[in-house]
Amino acid sequence: MPTNEESYKIVDGVKFSLLSPNEIRKLSTVEIQTADTYDEDGVPIVSGLMDGRLGTLEPRQKCRTCGNTAVACPGHFGHIELAEPVIHVSFIKLLHKLLAVTCRNCGRILLSEEKIKEYEEKIKEVKTRLNTVPESLYKKILKHAKKTMECPHCGTQQFPIELVKPTSFHEAIEEGAPKIPPSAIRERLERIPDDDLRLLGIDPKVARTEWMILQVLPVPPVTVRPSITLESGIRSEDDLTHKLVDIIRINQKLSEALESGVPINIIQELHDLLQYHVTTYFDNEVSGLPPARHRSGRALKTICQRLKGKEGRFRGNLSGKRVDFSARTVISPDLNLDINEVGVPMALASRLTVPEKVTEWNLEKMKQLIRNGPEQYPGALYIVRTDGRRIRLEFVPERESIAEGLQPAFVVERHIKDGDIVLFNRQPSLHRMSIMAHTVKVLPFKTFRLNPCVCPPYNADFDGDEMNLHVPQGEEARTEASLLMQVQDQILSPRYGGPIIGAIRDLLTSSFLLTAKETFLTKEKAGRLLTAGGYVGDLPPPDVKGPNPLWSGKSIFSVFIPEGLNFTSKSNLCSVYKCPDCRKEKCQYDAYIVIKDGNLKQGVIDKNSIGAEKSESLFHRIVKDYGSTVGKEFLNSIARLLDRYITLRGFTYAFDELAISDEVRQKIKKATEKAEERVNVLIESYKKGNLDRLAGQTIEESLEIYIMNELSTVRDLAGQYADSYFPEDNQGIIMARAGARGSMLNIGQMTASLGQQSIRGKRILRGYRERTLPFFKPNDAGAEARGFVYASYRDGLNPTEFFFHAIGGREGLVDTAVRTQQSGYMQRRLINALEHIRVEYDGTVRDSTGNIIQFSYGEDGVDTTKSDHGKAVNIERLVDSVRLFSAKGAIAGKRYIESKIDSISNKLPPSLVDELRRNIQGAKLTRKSVDQAISLTIDSYVRALIEPGEAAGIVSAQSIGEPGTQMTLRTFHFAGVKEQNVTLGLPRLIEIVDARKIPSTPTMTVYLEKKYRNREKAEQVANAVTHTILEDIADSIVSDIAKMKVMVKLDPNTMKDRGITLQEVREALKPPNSKVNIDRYDVEVTPKEMEIPQFKRFTARLRVFKLKGAPSVRKALVLEDQGEWIIRTEGSGLDVALNQPGVDKKRTISNNVHEVAEVLGIEAARNVLIKEAMAVLDEQGLDVDIRHVMLVADMMTNSGVVLQVGRHGISGEKSSTLAKAAFEITIPTIVDAAVKGTKDMLRGVAENVIVGRQVPMGTGLIDVYMSMPEKEKK
Amino acid sequence: MSKDIKKRDVTFEHELMPKHSIITKKDLEILLKKYHIQPYQLPSILISDPAVQAIEAKPGDVIKVIRKSSTAGEILAYRYVIED
C-alpha cells in the first residue's frame, strides 16, 4: 500500500557519442547573441546568457521553455554560432593522428587497398575470437599508415603534420611549415570516408571526425551555472558564464571583422583569441596556455575542472553524496551497553527520524507522538499524508487536531527510539567493519556511547574521536542491516577468519588478575561479580569450604563459559617464559589453559584467550562453535564482570613503581660503561685502520654496524636488569603480561635506558659539519655523540639526549603522515581494480562482464570469514569431539576407512581429504563414528563455502589495503645476512601491486644441486653468476691511440677474488672485429682499422666488456640457510642463473615478477606474486588470508601479462567507461569512449553507484527470472 | 577432463611452474558448457609464454594448468592462448 506510486525509469546503459553541429542546433532553445546577462532591473536579457528560455533559477518563476518551476525544470541548452571554426582541445591528440594518417588531398587512409582489406579482416577475425579489438591493433594500423608518404589512392605527396601545443597544426611542406587553419582541417576531416575511420577504431555513426572542430558551441542551461546574489545585492556570475561572455564578445568582434574586411592579421589575431577562450572554456589547465583568471587572480574553474579530481563531479558528487538522516559527535566508552548497541544522545535522538506507517494497531501511539511534537521526546517531526503532502510539525501551532486527524496509511516520521537499527561509522572506512549496524539506546549527555570491545574494528579510541551515525529509512534497508551488518555478525574478520572484536585494555588486566591462581573471593564479592555479569541462578559450589567459603576467580569466570566447551591453549603469559619444552598441563606458571566441559581448570585468561584480533582463542572457539549470539552474550557478560572486578580491586600504575634499586642502577651503569669501552676500542681500531671490513660494506659502514650491534645489546641488557628487579605484582608488568597495554621494552625505556635514537635505521649522523651538535668534538663517533640516550624517562633526559629523542620522535611523526597517504592510495587502487569482482552461482569468481578470474574462490571455494583461521574445517577438533561422544565398540578397520573416504573424495578438496584420512586413522574410531566424522566434515565444508554474490573483490582489496596502514614504512631489513638489504614493509607491498618492471632491491635465491651444497662449490657458482666486466679485474686499461691498441693489465688478486681464471678470460674476451693477444696478465686488444672517435668508443665498450655472469647481478653471497648452502644475489638474472651448472633448476627463484613471467611463464609469476606478498605481510606480523592475495594475483595475471593495480593496468582495462572516469583519467577516458561510441552496460559497482541503481553484488544481485519455454528447434 | 599431455614437459620441473597441457576439443566443449562461457572469457596466456612454447600450443588453444594450491591441495585452471 504505497502512498505515492510513481512510475520511474531505470537507466539501462549509457552510450557516449559526439554531438554533431546539427544536433547542437536542434537541442538549442535559443541562439545566444548578446554577451550581457541582466539589465538594470535584474531581468534577464533576451538572447543573452541568462535568457529565460535556458531554464529558471528563482524558486517561483516558471520556465519559458517547459513551464516548470525551478524544482522540476531541468534547464535547456542554447547555442552560439561561431564565426570561424575552432578546435576542441580534448580531441587535439586524436586530430593529430587523423591528419597524419589520412591523405591531404583525398582524405583516404594512407594504406593500400589490399592492406585495408587485410586489416579489416584482421579486425573482424580478432573481434570474433576475443570479443574486443585490442587497442594495440589500432595502434599498429596507425603506425603503419603514418609511415606512408604518398597516398596509395590518389598519389598525392604527404607532409609531416606538426602539433604546436596547445591547439594548432602545421604542415611541414618544403617552403616551411604554415599553420593549417581549423576550417581547412575541418574540410580535410570531412573527406575521410566512414570505412576508413572504422579502421582506426572510430565509430563514424556517432563521431564524425569533423565534429571535433566546433562550429556551434552549446551553451549550458542556467541551472548548470547559476548566478548568486550576494548579501550586498550584487550579482555574481558563475565561472562558466564569465567564460561564455568572453567567447561571445570575441565571436562578435570576429564576425564584424570578417564582414568589414579587416586586414588578415587582425582577423587571425581575433581567431586565435577565440580559440584561446574556447579552449580555456573547456579546460583551464592546458599545458602551454596561461589559465584564464578571475579579476582577483584566481584561475577559473571551467568544464574539465568541474569533472576532474577528488572534489570533481565524478568522485565528489556522483560516486559519493551528502546524505540526510545522519549525525556526528564525539564517542565515549560504556561497558554497560551491549556490543550491538550504540548510545545516542537525547539531543540527536530528537532530530533523527524513522518513517513509520500508521496502522490501526499503532494509531494511538502515533497520535501521542504527534502530540509530543518535535521538541518533546519521543515525538515526531513530520507527517506524510496519503496524498503525498508533508506536514512539518515544527510549524504546526496546534498539534492536537492534527493528531486526531491521523489515519492509517499515513506515514509518521518519528524520533528514533531504543531498538531502532542504525549504521555506525568511523573514518577512514578501510574495511567493511568500519560501518556496522547497531541498535539505538537513547541516553542522556552529548556523546555517542559504544562498548569498548568494538573499538578494534573501528580502530577507535576515546581521545576525542568522532563517529557518524546513519538512520536507514526503508524497511528493506533496516532488514538487511540487522541481518548482515550487526556487530555480532561481524565478530569474525574476513581478513583472517578470526575474531576482530574482543576484550581490550583494562578488561585484559582484570581477567589476568581475576583468573590468577591466587585470586579467591568472598561470597559477597562473588555474588557482586556474578550479578554484574548478568548471571541468574545459584552460586556455584565454593572452592574453599568452611565457615567463610571462598570462590576462586577461575570458577567465577567459568560460570560464563558455555557448557560442554573443551579447550586448551597457551596464554599470553606463556610468551614471557621461554621454556625450552612446554610442560603443557603441568605448567608451573599457570600459563597453559585447560577448559573442560565449560570449566576453567587451569591457566590465566588474558589476551590470548579473550583478546581482540586473536585467532584460535577461547572467544574464537565460542563464536565458532556456539554461534555469534552466544559469543556476543559471553563477551558482554565477561566485559561487565571484569569491569566490576577491576573496579572492586582497584588498579593503578604509580610513578614509584618505576623506581629501581641502586644495586640494579649500578649494574646497568656497569653494563653501559663496558659497552662504551668496547665502542671506543672499535673506534680506535677503525682509526688505526685494522678494523675488519664486512663484506659488501665500506669501512665506515662496517664501523657503524659494529657499534650499533654493541649498543643495541646495552639497552636490552639494561631492560633485562630492570625486568628482573620488578616483582610480579608490579602493575606495569601485569599490564604487559596480560597484553593489556605496553611491552617490556616500554617498561625498560621508562626505568632503565631509552637506548639508541635513530634516523632511517641508522644512528644520528647529521646536523653540524662533522658532528651532530656543537657539544661534541668533530668526528666523535662515540655513543653519546651519535644519539645514544643513557637516561630513562623516569630519570629524565639531558639536553643533548632530549634533542636526539626529538629527532627520532619527529621521524616517527613524518613516517606516519607519509604512510597513511601511501597506504590510502594503495587501498583506493586495490578497491578500484577489484570492486566488480564477485562470486557467481557456479562458484567461479568473475568480473562484471563474465570473464573468469578464478575457477573456484580461493581455489577451494571457502569463505575466509566462515573458515577456521583460514582452514575450511578444523578436522582435528571435529574428529576429537566425535571420539569423545562416541559409544564404545569395535574399531573400524583401515580398509573400511579407505573405502569410505574414497567414496566422498570428490566432495572435498584434496587437501581436506588427506587431512581427514590422517586424523581418522589416528583416532581409532568405531565404524559409526567414522561415518559421523566424514559426514560432519562434509557438512562443515559445505557450510564454509562462499556464497554466490559475495563481493569477493572488495573484501580482498580491503583485507590487503587495511593492514597497509599498520605497516612500517622504510623497513630495509636484512635478509638473513647482515650484508644484504631487502625492501620490505609498505614500500615493497606497493611495489608488488604496482608490478614495477624492476623492484628496488631485485634479488635471487639460488638453490644448489646436491653435489654443490658446500661453501666452496657454492662460491664457485656465486662467482659464475656475478656480473664481471673487464674493468673489474684489470689493474690498468691503457688505450694507445698512436698504435690503435688497447693494453690491459690484469690484476691476479682481484681475478682470484672474482673467481675467474686466465683461461676463462681468454674464452670470454672476444670483442667483435678485433684481435686479442693474451700473454699471462698482459692483454693486448687490436681492433680492425678505425677512426679515432670510433676507437675511443671501442675502448669504452671494452672496459665494460662482459666476461661472465648475469648483467644485473652485482653481488652474490653464499650463506647457510637451515643447514643448506644457498646463494643470495643482489640484482637478478634468472635465465643466466638457471642455465648455470650446479644450480637447482627446481627451486631457484627471483623476486622480480616480470622476470619470472618471462623465464618461467605467467603461472609462475602468479605464484611469485602470492609468495612475495605473503612474505611481506608475514614479516610485518600481519595476518592476511592467502585467498585474498591469490585473488589479487589472479587479477593481475588474468590477461597473460602481469598488470599493475592502477590506471595503467587492471583499472585501465576495465570495460566500464564511467568506472574508469571515476577513477583517475577522467577526461581522456570520456573522450575516447565518445569517439568509439562505447556503451556502458552498467554491470560493475562504480557505474551503478554513479547512475543511482542498486549495486549488482550480494543482496543486490537477486532478481526474479523466469524461464521461457524454449523455442522449438527445427 | 582428460590427461593428454602433449609432447615434452621438460620445462615444468621448476616448482613454481605448474604443469600445462593442451585440452582436446571435446574437453573444451565440456568446459565451455559447464561454465556457460566463450573461450575469450577464460583467463589468457600469451603464445610467447615459456610454458606455452614448451607444449607447442597455438593461439585459440585452451591450456589446462594443474596448480598446486595451499588451500585445496591441487586444482585445475584453464587459460586461453592469445597472440601477443
Amino acid letter for position A704: E
Residue A1035 DSSP label: E
Average pLDDT (A1012-1040) is 79
Q: Which residues of B touch A129 (CB under 8 A)?
A: 39-40, 60
- Distance from first CA to last CA of chain A, Å, rounded? 47
Is the distance from CB of A979 to CB of A695 less than 8 angstroms?
Answer: yes
pLDDT of A927 reads 85
Residue A1076 burial (CB count, 10 A): 17
Task: Find, in chain B, the residue whose alpha carbon is nearest to that of A1166.
Answer: B16
Chain B residues within 8 angstroms (CB to CB) of chain A: 13-18, 20, 34-46, 49-52, 60, 65, 67, 69-79, 82
Which CATH fold topology does A655-797 show?
Answer: Topoisomerase I; Chain A, domain 4 (1.10.132)
Q: Between A1108 and A464, name the one with better pLDDT.
A: A464
* Total CB pairs under 8 A between chain A and B: 127
pLDDT of A720 reads 84
Counting residues of chain A whose pLDDT is more than 90, the rounded percentage is: 40
With residue A712 as reference, give the H or E element that holds it. helix A699-725
Is the distance from CB of A506 to CB of A641 less than 8 angstroms?
Answer: no
Amino acid letter for position A986: L
Closest C-alpha among A1210, A1173, A1200, A1208 to residue A992: A1173
Helix (H, G, I), strand (E, B) or coil at A1209: coil
Helix (H, G, I), strand (E, B) or coil at B30: helix
Annotate A1078-1120 with three-state secondary structure.
EECCEEEEEECCCCHHHHHHHHHHHHCCEEECCCCCCEEEEEE
Interface of A with B in 1200-1229 (CB under 8 A): 1200-1201
Q: State the Cα–Cα distance between residues A863 and A872, nearest whole angstrom.
A: 8
Could you read off the pLDDT of A970-1001 as tens digits, one per residue? 555 544 445 567 788 898 999 999 998 888 88
Could you read off the pLDDT of A550-568 as tens digits, one per residue? 999 999 999 999 988 888 8
Q: Which of A1162, A1171, A1174, A1184 to mutate to test the interface with B (most CBs of B within 10 A)?
A: A1162
Q: State the Cα–Cα distance between residues A860 and A873, nearest whole angstrom.
A: 12
Measured between alpha carbons, how far is residue A240 from residues A652, A1168, A1179, A1208, B43 in Å? 64, 52, 54, 32, 47
**Left if phi > 0, otherwise alpha if psi is -120 to 50, otherwise beta: which for A1229?**
alpha
Which CATH fold topology does A31-76+220-307 show?
Answer: DNA Excision Repair, Uvrb; Chain A (4.10.860)
Residue spans in chain A of domains classed CATH 3.30.1490.180: 355-415
Residue A430 burial (CB count, 10 A): 22
Q: State the Cα–Cα distance between residues A677 and A714, nearest whole angstrom.
A: 12
What the block records as the C-alpha cell of A397 is: 501551532
Average pLDDT (A630-640) is 94
Say yes or no to pLDDT of A1172 above 80: yes
Which CATH fold topology does A322-352+416-479 show?
Answer: Barwin-like endoglucanases (2.40.40)
Residue A909 contacts B where some CB pair is shorter than 8 Å:
yes
Residue spans in chain A of domains classed CATH 1.10.132.30: 655-797
B69:A859 CB<8 A: yes
Is the distance from CB of A127 to CB of A201 less than 8 angstroms?
Answer: no
Helix (H, G, I), strand (E, B) or coil at A1254: coil
Of the partner residues B35, B45, B46, the one whose CB lies closest to the CB of residue A852: B35
Is the distance from CB of A1128 to CB of A1117 less than 8 angstroms?
Answer: yes
Average pLDDT (A265-285) is 91
Of the partner residues B44, B49, B72, the one whose CB lies closest to the CB of residue A860: B72
Q: State the Cα–Cα distance between residues A972 and A760, nearest whole angstrom.
A: 9
A1200:B44 CB<8 A: yes
B70:A872 CB<8 A: no
Q: What is the ipTM of this complex?
A: 0.91
Phi and psi dihedrals of A885, rounded to 5? -100, 5
Which CATH fold topology does A506-531+553-649 show?
Answer: Enzyme I; Chain A, domain 2 (1.10.274)
Helix (H, G, I), strand (E, B) or coil at A987: helix
Q: State the Cα–Cα distance between residues A393 and A780, nearest whole angstrom.
A: 79
Average pLDDT over chain A, rounded to an integer: 87
Of the partner residues A858, A1145, A1201, the one whose CB lies closest to the CB of residue B71: A858
Instruction: For chain B, list the domains and their CATH numbers.
Output: 10-82 (3.90.940.20)
- Superfamily of segment(s) A355-415: RNA polymerase ii (3.30.1490.180)
Binned at pLDDT 50, 70 and 90, residue A2 comes out as very low
Q: State the Cα–Cα distance between residues A436 and A16, nearest whole angstrom.
A: 38
Is the distance from CB of A183 to CB of A85 less than 8 angstroms?
Answer: yes
Q: State the Cα–Cα distance between residues A1020 and A1064, nearest whole angstrom.
A: 13
B40:A856 CB<8 A: no
Helix (H, G, I), strand (E, B) or coil at A339: coil
A856:B75 CB<8 A: yes
Of the partner residues B41, B42, B70, the one whose CB lies closest to the CB of residue A1186: B70
Of the partner residues B14, B75, B78, the one whose CB lies closest to the CB of residue A1160: B14
Is the distance from CB of A1222 to CB of A828 less than 8 angstroms?
Answer: no
The alpha-carbon gap from B32 to the nearest alpha carbon of chain A, in Å, equals: 11
Average pLDDT (A754-773) is 86
Q: State the Cα–Cα distance between residues A352 and A1225, nearest whole angstrom.
A: 39
- CA diameter of chain B: 34
Show which residues of A are catalytic: 461, 463, 465, 973
Based on C-alpha coordinates, what's the Rg of chain A? 38
Say yes or no to pLDDT of A694 above 80: no
Residue spans in chain A of domains classed CATH 4.10.860.120: 31-76+220-307
What the block records as the C-alpha cell of A988 is: 615493497
Q: State the Cα–Cα distance between residues A1099 and A462, nearest whole angstrom.
A: 70
B43:A1147 CB<8 A: no
Could you read off the pLDDT of A298-312 as tens digits, one per residue? 898 999 999 988 889
What the block records as the C-alpha cell of A445 is: 549527555
Q: Which residues of A touch B1 (CB under 8 A)?
A: none
Say yes or no to pLDDT of A969 above 80: no
A1145:B13 CB<8 A: yes
Average pLDDT (A71-87) is 90
Q: Between A1179 and A1072, name the one with better pLDDT.
A: A1179
Task: Find, in chain A, the residue whose alpha carbon is nearest to that of B15.
Answer: A1146
For the four alpha carbons of A408, A409, A415 and A419, in that order, the dihedral sign comes to positive
Could you read off the pLDDT of A796-841 as tens digits, one per residue? 999 999 999 999 999 889 888 888 899 999 999 999 999 999 999 9
Phi and psi dihedrals of A1021, rounded to 5? -65, -40
Of the partner residues B16, B38, B40, the one whose CB lies closest to the CB of residue A1164: B16
Average pLDDT (A187-209) is 89
Q: Which of A847, A1007, A1135, A1163 to mutate to test the interface with B (most CBs of B within 10 A)?
A: A1163
Cell 671501442, located at residue: A1098
Q: Which residues of A touch B45 (CB under 8 A)?
A: 1161-1163, 1200
Task: Find, in chain B, the residue whose alpha carbon is nearest to that of A1157.
Answer: B49
Q: State the Cα–Cα distance between residues A285 and A1226, nearest whole angstrom.
A: 14
A348 has which bridge partners?
A: none
Say yes or no to pLDDT of B9 above 60: no
B41:A1194 CB<8 A: no
Is the distance from CB of A260 to CB of A281 less than 8 angstroms?
Answer: no
Residue A287 burial (CB count, 10 A): 6
Binned at pLDDT 50, 70 and 90, residue A695 comes out as low
Residue spans in chain A of domains classed CATH 1.10.274.100: 506-531+553-649
Q: Between A28 and A1, name the one with better pLDDT.
A: A28
